[in-house]
């Protein structure tokens, strides 16, 4: 069994219910573990990764946590509501929303087709704000909420070959900053995490030569680990982050490219 005492003490998420999209992915799954080990009850949303989501739930429960996998296609207009409704029906509340679902397609600007633009907009932007919106009514009733959206460092600085991906991720920053002004007096914060080069699905996109080149421009001299991103999620989900609102937290090891 994992030692959870330090996480519970640090974040104080006992009795909190967290909804996480993209839970079958590497980073999303790690965020679920972080929140569950800190005491939160986790509703883990997945689209196609049913086996991965069920295995994640089994691992979390073996460590003494609570995790319920729920199938939901967040690219559909009703997908986010399906996930949130599952949490409300079983646990009667939603305190934390983590929009970790995302898709990345490598296309040069001239070869980007409308279908790719529509897919990335639906998953990277629309599904994230859809999850946030689906959580707002229960959060407003409780006068408490933590909404954490997953952007990308590409959305801050751009990334050649990934212009649409960067644009759809970057659009989350002004959205969060705007909504933070609407919700802050109701005890709800809205923030964005922008990971850089993390050792997960993203780095599989690069060849070995590209990876070596990228490392030359990262201050830490290495790729980040999913646990380092999840630690930022745990902090933003906690009461300690109550005055951090409308911000973008870049987790990139000091990258300069």
Give me the helices (H) in the chain, please.
5-11, 26-37, 50-62, 79-91, 114-120, 127-142, 153-157, 163-170, 172-183, 208-215, 226-237
> What is the distance, to the nearest Å, from the Cα of residue 168 to the centroid of all Cα atoms in its chain?
14
Q: Closest by alpha carbon to 32, among 76, 70, 73?
A: 70
Sheet (strand 17-21) strand order: 66-71, 41-46, 17-21, 96-99, 145-150, 188-195, 248-251
In total, the chain counts a number of residues equal to 257
Q: What is the largest distance, in Å, between two alpha-carbon atoms of the chain?
A: 52
Catalytic annotation, pick one of 11, 144, 165, 243 = 165
Q: What residues pair up with 99 in beta bridges, in sequence order?
A: 21, 149
- Report phi then psi at 148, rounded to 5: -125, 115
The answer to whether 165 is a known catalytic residue is yes
Stated as kind and residue range, the H or E segment containing 71 is: strand 66-71
Q: What residues pair up with 189 in beta bridges, in sequence order?
A: 146
Cα 150 to Cα 159: distance, rounded to the nearest angstrom = 16
Catalytic center residues:
165
């Amino acid at each position: 069994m994992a030692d959870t005492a330090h996480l519970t003490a640090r974040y104080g998420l006992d009795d909190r219910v967290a909804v996480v999209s993209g839970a079958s992915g590497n980073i999303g799954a790690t965020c679920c573990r972080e929140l569950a080990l800190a005491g939160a009850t986790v509703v883990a949303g997945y689209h196609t990764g049913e086996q991965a989501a069920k295995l994640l739930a089994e691992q979390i429960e073996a460590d003494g946590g609570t995790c319920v996998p729920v199938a939901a296609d967040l690219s559909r207009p009703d997908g986010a509501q399906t996930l949130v409704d599952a949490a409300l029906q079983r646990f009667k509340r939603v305190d934390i929303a983590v929009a970790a679902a995302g898709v990345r397609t490598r296309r040069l600007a001239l070869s980007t087709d409308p279908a790719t633009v529509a897919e990335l907009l639906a998953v990277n932007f629309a599904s994230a704000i859809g999850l946030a919106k689906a959580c707002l009514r229960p959060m407003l009733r409780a006068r408490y909420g933590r909404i954490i959206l997953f952007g990308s460092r590409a959305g801050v600085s751009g990334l050649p070959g990934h212009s649409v991906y960067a644009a759809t991720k970057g659009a989350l920053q002004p959205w969060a900053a705007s909504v933070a002004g609407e919700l802050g007096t109701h005890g709800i914060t809205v923030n964005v995490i922008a990971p850089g080069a993390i050792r997960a699905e993203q780095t599989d996109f690069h060849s070995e030569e590209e990876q070596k080149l990228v490392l030359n421009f990262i201050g830490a001299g290495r790729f980040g680990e999913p646990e380092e991103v999840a630690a930022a999620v745990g902090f933003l989900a906690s009461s300690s982050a109550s005055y951090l609102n409308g911000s973008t937290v870049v987790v990139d090891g000091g990258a300069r490219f």
